[in-house]
């Protein structure tokens, strides 16, 4: 370990061997030796089940503290690292490997040149790590070893060495066994019978001198000593335990050491046989198994007083057991000092079902005891020595206790489990313990229900589960509360690999089980937090809300404050739950009207968000229909609520192409207009809305009367006295849009010229810098492009102007702007028309790029999304390498567009055109036949005077040639 700083010297020595072969003794002696030479940088001895000594929690900081004291030059460097990153002090935020890198390795490496002469003369510093296999954080230890080796590979001149001792565990062996940085020492190969004989004779002499009995000098005989040496098998800890058992003056067997020696020699030559021989004579002692389980399983060592309090037994009972077992337990001199094991192999033995047999330790007593102490403390009873331990570890013991049981065991234990939990119901953190038991509790109820069903059917299971104890309402409510937090108890279940994937049930399954298994009305009743339905709506569990309603829970049940479940859904912004409630007859009270109406407005305003729009808009519409019951005809707010409903229906129609929605919006608005004659202050608003709705219905249905009526209403609006500039611009732009659509269907040059004149006037009201100038530019570009299609003589001039106007509009809507998508689409259409006129490939490529950018900017299924799909398919069909993609997009657009939509014929025409092109490329007759069929459908839908009808006629003529 001394060595020089040459590169070839290993930085790590690993001493390994089986339990009790002297690893810790060597580590302690080496540490003592290096400390005497002022070369011990730090030492850390792990011990399983000893709190911080069994975890990495304080490992790195403890070592860093010792390093700073042993090598003063590192102290300011360590302090600086902590100031720069305080998280280095906590394993929650920093890995063990990072802690060592920053707090130990780098500081020592940083001062090496100042200590290089001393290091060469005296040798490097040493850190001793004993019992690394007893650290419970195995993964962190593995990463730490990897990083340590990696560091020494990078920094071979660092004046630091490690001595590591452990048993051969896989996560340690696989890292240390093959690295050039590690020197290996197997103690099994270095422990001789002569060494054991010498140690044995010294120990026997010492025990004989301290014993009141007198022994013959020849006892034990040389033959017996040789047998003992062979029995011990090279394990010093085994030797120590045997001698403690041999010279036990208070043993339960009442034998003298001479009488006990033959028994000792007849034991199985291993730890298991030794431990069984020591434990068996004592198992009749009161509370024997609970006491040894508590000592073996304690997550940090417990004193006699703590063990007695947790187990609810007297301290005398605890002392009586451990006195008889002093060969395997270290017995303190008072009630407050922890009781510990002589060696951790005892814990391994007691925790192994295969090895321990009747001495198997379990967490039952610790789980019940700690939980009871927490409950007593929460009720104001004085704290005890065991309170702090119970606070820290009750949940872990409880979880491990439950995790150790199979279904039948839990059925037998169910009464005690539920009784304990119900008594502890005042504990503020009790929900955590319920989460631990919930998985098994529900499975128990399921087995009970299954047993009942089988009894009714005449096929009894061999061992029906024990009946459930009377459950309090409070306990049932806690169970129901857990139903709504499945992520917690399901995480516990997922951690148990023994369960099959088919065993994992969702919360709805459990609600159904509880609905069927509990005859009392707890599921439909009320608690402090409201009913179970209120809880589902509060937490957004629409699946559970649906199940409750299907089982007959009243959708209008109120909590103690008088709030309905619908209002709870509103307060918690749970639209899906509200939809289910309304579908099942939930009613709004008069007091709910302002709150629900305001919520409907919020839902409407944000319904454009992708993925949630359809649901939230649908809920807003349902809410308005329900609220109209409280605002009947004649009510002052009746027209206002009708207006909101028409507005929402129009938006939904715009998203989905629904004709019934827009029909209802038109009907409702006509009704409002009848109550707002000329001169009414709100008439212009109603006229505007009706014109917009009629326009959209005409776009959907190709209804000329609707478009004519919309144009008439818009002209009427413009005749009202002195509308404000911004308001007039809106009217002008909508009138221009309606005229544009009419000209598209009729080919009217006068309509499109008026649309261009009106849009030009709008631009005067929206100069450069106006927030809505882009839409005016887009409208003018669309109108000019339409005129180019109607009038061939103006095509050359108009098509260039349309492209220029769209580019200007696009410049005002940069990436990220919500309105950029529609302008991209308009520019794409203009470029396509210019390509058809001039066959400029640059226009085609740019149109493709713009269309691909525009597509994801529109909500899937919306009108613009469907149009953009068709436009992209139109562009791609002109590029042979993209013909298959074009066909896929075209089929998608046809499947999405409403069957009654006025533009459906254009989507069909595009699909027929693509199929025709593929037929010409591949000769597939199926494509030709499908193209002919689809073209015929498009002809049946196309308006006779539509400006693009000539394209359909040309396609029909081409197909007729085959």
pLDDT digits (tens, 9 = 90+) for 852-882: 999 999 888 888 899 999 999 999 999 999 9
User: Looking at the structure, do residues 213 and 179 belong to the same domain, yes or no?
Assistant: no
Q: DSSP string of 868-905?
A: HHHHHHHHHTTSGGGHHHHHHHHHHHHHHS-TT-TTHH
Task: Judge contact between 545 and 529, C-beta under 8 A.
Answer: no
pLDDT tens digits along 380-403: 666 777 877 777 777 777 777 776
Dump pLDDT digits (tens) for 738-781.
999 999 888 899 999 999 999 999 998 888 889 999 999 999 99
Does 76 reside within a domain? yes
Q: Which residues contact 411 (CB under 8 A, 6 or more apart)?
A: 444, 447, 465, 466
For 73, residues 6+ apart whose C-beta sits below 8 A from its C-beta are: 111, 114, 115
Residues 387/436, Cβ–Cβ less than 8 Å: no
Please, which pLDDT band fits residue 456 given cuts at 50, 70 and 90? very low
Do 263 and 306 share a domain, yes or no?
no
Which of the 8 DSSP states describes residue 564?
B
The share of the chain scoring above pLDDT 90, in percent, equals 32
Instruction: Please compute, for residue 425, the number of CA atoms within 13 A of its CA located in the half-sphere on the CB side.
Output: 14
Most confident of 255-269, 410-424, 455-469, 938-952: 938-952
Tell which phi-psi region holds residue 841, choosing left (phi > 0), alpha (psi between -120 and 50) or beta: alpha
Contact 537, 545 (CB under 8 A): yes
In a domain, 421, yes or no: no
pLDDT number for residue 198: 73
Q: Round to whole Å and give the CA distance between 364 and 678.
A: 84
Q: How confident is the model at residue 447 (pLDDT cuts 50, 70, 90)?
A: low
Q: CB of 810 within 8 A of CB of 838?
A: no
CA distance 624 to 640: 11
Q: In the predicted model, is pLDDT for residue 428 greater than 60?
A: no
Q: What is residue 508's predicted lDDT score, i.e. its pLDDT?
A: 62
Q: Round to whole Å and give the CA distance between 921 and 547.
A: 56
In this structure, what CATH number is given to the domain that contains residue 796?
A: 1.25.40.10
Which pair of tokens denotes residue 244? 């403690």
Domain CATH for 23? 3.40.50
Rg of the chain taking only CA atoms, in angstroms: 42
Q: How far is CA 641 from CA 103, 637, 645, 681, 730, in A?
A: 68, 6, 6, 17, 24
pLDDT for 155 beyond 70:
yes
Residue 40 shares a structural domain with residue 59: yes
Residue 172 sits in the same domain as residue 138: yes
Q: Is residue 484 pLDDT above 60, yes or no? A: no
Q: Which of 167, 190, 213 is the last residue of a domain?
A: 190
CATH of the domain at 326: 1.10.10
What's the pLDDT score for residue 532? Answer: 76
Query: Residue 220: is the preceding peptide bond cis (ω within 30°)?
Result: yes
Question: Is residue 127 domain-resident?
Answer: yes
- Does one domain contain both 294 and 174? no
| pLDDT level of residue 850 (50, 70, 90 thresholds) | very high
Strands (E) across 486-602 are located at 526-527, 530-531
Q: How far is CA 589 from CA 403, 561, 726, in A?
A: 48, 14, 40
Same domain as 346, residue 231: no
Q: How far is CA 133 from the centre of its chain?
A: 32
Going by C-alpha positions, the residue among 22, 21, 4, 2 that lies closest to residue 13 is 2
Are residues 738 and 846 both part of a single domain?
yes
- What pLDDT score does 492 carry? 42
Q: Is residue 480 part of a domain?
A: no
Residues composing the chain? 962
Same-domain check for residues 113 and 140: yes
pLDDT bracket for residue 529 (50, 70, 90): low
Q: Which candidate, 220, 21, 12, 175, places its Cα nearest to that of 105?
A: 12
- Pick from 23, 51, 76: nearest CA to 187: 23
d(CA 17, CA 185): 9
The domain tally of the chain equals 4
Same domain, 44 and 141: yes
Per-residue pLDDT, averaged over 221-232, amounts to: 73
Determine the pLDDT at residue 415.
64
Same domain for 233 and 334, yes or no, is no
CA distance 3 to 471: 71
User: Using CA atoms, how far apart are residues 718 and 732, in angstroms rounded to an integer?
Assistant: 8
The 10s digit of each residue's pLDDT in 776-823 is: 999 999 999 999 888 865 466 888 999 999 999 999 999 989 899 999
Q: What's the pLDDT at 708?
A: 95
- Lowest mean pLDDT across 238-242, 534-538, 799-803: 238-242
Q: What's the pLDDT score for residue 578?
A: 95
Give the pLDDT confidence score for residue 462 in this predicted structure: 47
**Mean confidence (pLDDT) of the chain:** 80
- The residue among 866, 897, 928 that closes a domain is 897
Task: Look at residues 207, 237, 269 and tell me which one is the last residue of a structural domain.
Answer: 269
State the pLDDT confidence band at 5, using cuts at 50, 70 and 90.
very low
Q: Is residue 794 part of a domain?
A: yes
Residues 149 and 38 both lie in one domain: yes
Higher pLDDT, 884 or 425: 884
Please report, rounded to a whole number, the percentage of residues in the chain having pLDDT higher than 70. 76
Of 166-180, 584-598, 623-637, where does mean pLDDT reach its minimum? 166-180
Structure confidence at residue 475 (pLDDT): 59
Residue 922 lies in a domain: no
The pLDDT tens digits for 91-143 are 777 888 889 889 998 898 888 655 544 544 567 899 999 988 888 888 888 88
In a domain, 599, yes or no: no
Residue 749 lies in a domain: yes
Tens-digit pLDDT profile for residues 705-722: 999 999 999 999 888 875
Mean pLDDT of 916-938: 93
- In the predicted structure, residue 520 carries a pLDDT above the cut 50: no
How do strand 329-330 and strand 340-341 relate by DSSP bridges? antiparallel
Dist CA 848 CA 917 (whole Å): 18
Same structural domain for residues 151 and 235?
Answer: no
**Order of strands, sheet of 12-16, starting from the edge strand that comes earlier in the sequence:** 40-45, 125-130, 160-166, 12-16, 182-186
pLDDT of residue 610: 44
Query: Quick one: pLDDT at residue 519?
Result: 44
Range of the domain at 887: 684-897
Is residue 231 scored above 70 in pLDDT? no
List the end-to-end C-alpha distance of the chain, in Å, as a whole number.
94
Structure tokens at 620: 């807003």
Confidence of residue 250 (pLDDT cuts 50, 70, 90): low
């Amino acid at each position: 370990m001394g060595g020089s700083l040459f590169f070839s010297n290993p930085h790590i020595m690993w001493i390994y061997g089986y339990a009790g072969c002297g690893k810790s003794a060597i580590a302690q002696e080496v540490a003592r030796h290096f400390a005497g030479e002022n070369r011990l940088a730090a030492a850390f001895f792990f011990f399983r089940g000893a709190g911080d000594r069994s975890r990495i929690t304080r490992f790195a900081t403890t070592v860093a503290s010792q390093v700073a004291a042993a090598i003063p030059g590192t102290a300011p460097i360590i302090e600086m690292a902590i100031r720069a990153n305080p998280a280095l002090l906590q394993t929650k935020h920093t890995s063990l490997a990072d802690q060592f890198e920053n707090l130990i390795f780098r500081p020592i490496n940083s001062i090496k040149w100042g200590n290089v002469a001393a290091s060469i003369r005296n040798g490097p510093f040493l850190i001793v790590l004993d019992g690394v296999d007893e650290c419970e954080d195995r993964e962190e230890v593995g990463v730490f070893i990897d990083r340590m080796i990696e560091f020494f590979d990078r920094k071979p001149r660092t004046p630091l060495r490690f001595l590591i001792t452990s048993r051969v565990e896989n996560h340690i062996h696989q890292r240390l066994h093959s690295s050039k940085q590690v020197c290996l020492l197997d103690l099994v190969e270095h422990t001789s019978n002569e060494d054991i004989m010498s140690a044995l004779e010294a120990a026997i002499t010492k025990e004989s001198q301290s014993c009141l009995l007198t022994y013959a000098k020849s006892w034990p005989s040389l033959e017996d000593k040789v047998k003992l040496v062979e029995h011990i098998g090279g394990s010093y800890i085994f030797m120590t335990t045997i001698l403690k058992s041999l010279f036990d003056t208070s043993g339960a067997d009442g034998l003298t050491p001479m009488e006990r020696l033959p028994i000792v020699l007849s034991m199985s030559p291993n730890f298991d046989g030794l431990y069984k021989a020591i434990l068996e004579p004592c198992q009749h002692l009161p509370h024997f198994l609970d006491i040894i389980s508590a000592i073996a399983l304690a997550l940090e060592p417990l004193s006699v007083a703590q063990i007695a309090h947790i187990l609810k037994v007297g301290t005398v009972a605890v002392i009586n057991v451990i006195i008889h077992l002093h060969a395997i337990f270290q017995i303190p001199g008072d009630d407050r000092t922890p009781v510990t094991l002589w060696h951790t192999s005892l814990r391994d033995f007691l925790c192994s079902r295969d090895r321990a047999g009747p001495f198997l330790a379990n967490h039952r007593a610790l789980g019940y005891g700690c939980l009871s102490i927490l409950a007593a403390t929460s009720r104001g009873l004085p704290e005890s020595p065991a309170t702090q331990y119970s606070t820290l570890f009750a949940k872990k013991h409880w979880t491990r206790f439950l995790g150790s049981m199979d279904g039948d065991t839990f059925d037998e234990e169910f009464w005690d489990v539920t009784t304990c939990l119900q008594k502890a119901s005042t504990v503020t953190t009790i929900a955590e313990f319920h989460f631990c038991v919930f998985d098994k509790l529900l499975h128990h109820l399921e087995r009970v229900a299954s047993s009942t069903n089988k009894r009714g059917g005449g096929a009894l299971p061999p061992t029906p589960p024990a009946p459930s104890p009377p459950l309090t309402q409070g306990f049932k409510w806690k169970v129901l509360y857990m139903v709504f937090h499945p992520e917690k108890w399901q995480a516990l279940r997922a951690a148990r690999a023994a369960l099959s994937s088919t065993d994992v049930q969702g919360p709805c399954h459990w609600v159904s089980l509880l609905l069927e298994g509990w005859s009392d009305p707890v599921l439909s009743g009320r608690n402090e937090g409201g009913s179970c339905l209120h809880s589902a709506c509060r937490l957004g569990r629409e699946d559970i809300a649906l199940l409750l309603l299907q089982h007959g829970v009243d959708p209008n049940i109120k909590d103690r404050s008088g709030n309905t479940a619908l209002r709870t859904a509103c307060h918690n912004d749970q639209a899906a739950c509200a939809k289910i409630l309304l579908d099942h007859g939930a009613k709004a009270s008069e007091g709910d009207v302002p709150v629900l109406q305001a919520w409907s407005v919020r839902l409407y305003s944000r319904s454009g968000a992708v993925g949630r729009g359809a649901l939230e808009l649908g809920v807003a519409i349902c809410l308005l229909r329900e609220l109209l019951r409280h605002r009947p005809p004649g009510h002052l707010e009746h027209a206002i609520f009708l207006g909101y409903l028409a507005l929402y229906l129009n938006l939904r129609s715009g998203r989905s192409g629904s004709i019934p929605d827009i029909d209802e919006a038109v009907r409702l608005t006509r009704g409002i207009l009848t109550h707002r004659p000329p001169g009414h202050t709100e008439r212009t608003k109603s006229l505007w809305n009706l014109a917009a709705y009629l326009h959209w219905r005409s776009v959907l249905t190709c209804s000329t009367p609707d478009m004519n009526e919309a144009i008439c209403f818009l002209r009427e609006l413009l005749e009202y006295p002195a509308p404000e500039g911004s308001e007039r611009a809106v009217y002008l732009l909508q009138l221009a849009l309606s005229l544009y659509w009419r000209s598209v269907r009729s080919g009217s040059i006068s309509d499109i010229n008026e649309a261009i004149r009106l849009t030009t006037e709008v631009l005067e009201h929206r100069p450069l810098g106006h927030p809505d100038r882009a839409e005016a530019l887009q409208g003018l570009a669309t109108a000019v492009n339409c005129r180019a299609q109607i009038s061939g003589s103006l095509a050359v001039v108009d098509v260039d102007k349309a492209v220029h106007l769209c580019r200007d509009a696009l410049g005002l809507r940069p990436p990220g702007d919500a309105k950029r998508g529609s302008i991209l689409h308009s520019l794409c259409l203009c470029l396509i028309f210019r390509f058809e006129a001039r066959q400029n490939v640059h226009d085609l490529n740019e149109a493709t790029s713009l269309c691909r950018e525009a597509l994801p900017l529109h909500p899937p299924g919306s009108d613009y999304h469907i149009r953009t799909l068709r436009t992209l398919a139109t562009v791609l069909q002109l590029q042979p390498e993209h013909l298959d993609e074009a066909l896929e997009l075209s089929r998608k657009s046809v499947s999405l567009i409403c069957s009654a939509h006025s533009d459906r014929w254009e989507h069909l025409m595009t699909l027929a055109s693509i199929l025709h092109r593929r037929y010409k490329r591949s000769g597939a007759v199926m494509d030709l036949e499908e193209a002919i069929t689809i073209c015929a459908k498009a002809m049946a839908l196309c308006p006779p005077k539509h400006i693009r009808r000539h394209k359909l006629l040309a396609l029909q003529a081409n197909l007729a040639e085959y």
